[in-house]
Amino acid sequence: MPAMSLVTVDRSILSSYDKMGKAGGPRKDLLVLADSKRGVAVPEVARALLALHNAVTAAGGDFRVTELHREVSVQAAARKRYENWVAAGKPARGSASFNSATMKADFVAIPGKSMHNAGRAIDFHVGMTNFPGVPKDKQLDKMWEIAKPLGWKPIIKAPDESASESWHMDYWGEISGAYDRLGYEQGALCGALLVGYAGEWQTYERVVQALLQRAGYSIGELDGIIGPKSINALSSALGVTPDVAKNKVSAKDESFFATLLSKPPK
Ligand SMILES: [Zn+2]
């Protein structure tokens, strides 16, 4: 059982795709994001996404979501295409050595270490936002101006529409502390572990470590090795002796997950 469940996002939020899987069509033809497998997120992200949708809409913009949650198998397939592209020497799109069927010329995170696996990242349709009165090259500036105060964090440094990943934003929320302490990849892994989508890293021991990280315990990387740091943190979090904490972990006890999740995130 994953420690946290994903919930379906609000039905007012649209996918960037229509029934034919085409992007860029009229808004009325677009699929409801909630009707696709990708339309789920952790509860705080589902709320933050609705807040973003409402704020963009209130500013006259057209908000369309390309990706939200990604299953590990989908992530693995995309990562393979990215690796094919790197192995081929990163050929330019449209060049003779670029094969769009087998290659992806944009960064794809390792399966299980993506904020999409964690249900905490969106890709949105950058070219379609159309904020009225805002020049084409300032559309992303406008999106950031709206999104950042709502807790969304763009993955690129400056708002450049043509940059790879200009469409990607993360929501760290209750795992912000883990991100600050561990960096992007381990932070994303922490999120993915909590919802059960960490692929080959999904083990009971790492989930315990992810829960402790979420609660603010500096126990180091999510390495799946329950050493003295993890035991001491668990013992302090649960108010039990280290021996009792150790026995719980040895028995792969999940009954204390809810207690850890009730701790304020740090
Ligand atoms: Zn993305």
227 CA distance to ligand 1 middle (Å): 34
243 CA distance to ligand 1 middle (Å): 42
pLDDT for position 20: 93
pLDDT for position 74: 87
- pTM for the structure as a whole: 0.93
164 CA distance to ligand 1 middle (Å): 10
> At 106, is the pLDDT very low, low, confident or very high (cuts 50, 70, 90)?
confident
Closest to 139 in 3D by CA, of 98, 173, 119, 167: 167
> At 160, is the pLDDT very low, low, confident or very high (cuts 50, 70, 90)?
very high
- The predicted model gives 77-95 an average pLDDT of 94
Q: Is the pLDDT of residue 54 over 90?
A: yes
64 CA distance to ligand 1 middle (Å): 13
122 CA distance to ligand 1 middle (Å): 6
257 CA distance to ligand 1 middle (Å): 29
If you average pLDDT over every residue of the chain, what do you get?
A: 96
pLDDT tens for 67-76 read 999 988 888 9
pLDDT tens for 219-247 read 999 999 999 999 999 999 999 999 999 99
